[in-house]
Amino acid sequence: MFRRLFARNRRNEAIAYSLYGAIVAQAREPVLYTEFAVPDTLDGRFDMVVLHGFLLFHRLKSESEADRQVGQDVFDIFLKDMDGTLREMGVGDISVPKKLKKMAEAFFGRIRAYDEALESGDHAALVDAIARNVFPDGAPEGAAERIADYAESSVRSLSTQTFDSILSGRLHYASLSSSPAAA
């Protein structure tokens, strides 16, 4: 019994790491920083990881509670990655938990804003949330709109992906090159 449970947990961890890798890979797509004008900064990259993580979590909402556990596993890996990043940047051991708490609060605040906008079908609220979070110093003309369009297209794309396909570690986000206004 324990052997099966341990094997299942290791499989789930491998799936979660694969999904987190897919999120980070998409968040690092150069077009986001060139064509979509996301600031190529620590904060800009953080926001892109959060956005792409949110898109996965939004997709998982339609799954059973047990299947949604993979989202929690991905979030746990996100926190572990942020912990490692802070330590690599030289943040002291005493400060890391405080900074992680702020990052988690920022993560959940963004998730809540994006989810409320999508659930209500309020495109303008999604644009506003993206502008406020991704471009705190002011968004270049049309940049927040393009990211919102991309996010909405990704929601549609991910909604057609089966859960088994997601468990393969591949996420089918919308094409960045064919998003509205990008063509």
For 150-183, the pLDDT digits (tens) are 999 999 999 999 999 999 999 999 999 744 444 3
Average pLDDT of the chain, as a whole number: 89
Q: What is the DSSP string of 6-62?
A: HHHHHHHHHHHHHHHHHHHHHHT-HHHHHTS----SHHHHHHHHHHHHHHHHHHHTT
Q: Which residue has the higher pLDDT, 182 or 100?
A: 100
How far, in Å, CA of 167 to CA of 18, rounded?
9
Percentage of residues in the chain having pLDDT higher than 90: 68
**Which are the contacts of 157, defined by CB distance < 8 A and separation ≥ 6?**
172, 173, 174
Reply yes or no on whether the pLDDT at 22 is more than 60.
Answer: yes
Residue 147 to residues 23, 46, 150, 156, 162: CA-CA distances in angstroms? 16, 15, 5, 14, 24
Reported pTM: 0.87
Reported confidence tier of residue 5, pLDDT bands at 50, 70, 90: very low
- pLDDT above 70 as % of the chain: 91
Report pLDDT digits (tens) over 35-88.
Answer: 999 999 989 999 999 999 999 999 999 898 888 899 999 999 998 988 888 878
Annotated domain spans of the chain: 2-167
Highest mean pLDDT among 6-10, 98-102, 122-126: 122-126
- Domain 2-167 in CATH 1.10.287: no
Place of tokens 């993560």: 107
pLDDT at 9: 58
- Residues in Cβ contact with 113 at an 8 Å cutoff, skipping those fewer than 6 apart: 125, 129, 132, 133
